[in-house]
């Protein structure tokens, strides 16, 4: 039993040392908005075998990386999707729907603008009921 534990620790050390040096290089040379975490998991199986797995997690720290900050990211909305106003470009609620030649929204729905598109969304769930592309100029 003690021999297996020593072998597992030795294997973990051999596997983890290149990972730790790569992680140090990624942190010093990589983009500041990304955080990469690598960990080694050692499991002892019932049949006596030792399994060593490497798990790598890359986190974005809540920031969206865009090489050109002035670039407009267009989202293609579709009926049945959940509408997220953070992904909408030029988001605003359309109150004068007749000025844009849109029908009156049914009860519980509202028209919103995302870029040049008019999107009909449900107020309670945020599910998209209809998308009219290029309705707003």
| pLDDT tens-digit readout, 77-90 | 899 999 988 888 88
On average, the pLDDT of the chain sits at 76
Tell me, what's the pLDDT at 33? 54
Look at 39 and 69; give whichever has higher pLDDT: 39
Check: CB of residue 107 under 8 Å from CB of residue 89.
Answer: no
Q: Which domains does the chain have, with CATH numbers?
A: 2-59 (no CATH), 72-137 (3.10.450.160)
Tell me, what's the pLDDT at 32? 54
| pLDDT exceeds 70 at position 94 | yes
pTM: 0.47
Taking only the tens place, the pLDDT of each residue in 3-59 is 777 777 767 665 555 655 555 544 444 455 566 677 777 878 788 788 777 777 666
């Amino acid at each position: 039993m003690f021999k297996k534990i020593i072998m597992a620790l030795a294997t973990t050390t051999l596997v983890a040392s290149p990972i730790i040096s790569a992680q140090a290089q990624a942190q010093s040379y990589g983009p500041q908005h990304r955080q990469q975490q690598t960990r080694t998991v050692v499991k002892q199986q019932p049949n006596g075998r030792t399994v060593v797995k490497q798990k790598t997690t890359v986190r974005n720290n809540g920031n969206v990386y865009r090489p050109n900050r002035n670039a407009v990211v267009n989202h293609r909305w579709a009926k049945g999707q959940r509408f997220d106003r953070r992904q909408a470009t030029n988001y605003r609620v359309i109150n004068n729907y007749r000025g844009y030649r849109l029908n009156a929204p049914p009860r519980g729905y509202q028209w919103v603008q995302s870029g040049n598109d008019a999107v009909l969304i449900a107020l309670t769930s945020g599910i998209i009921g209809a998308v009219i592309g290029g309705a707003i100029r």
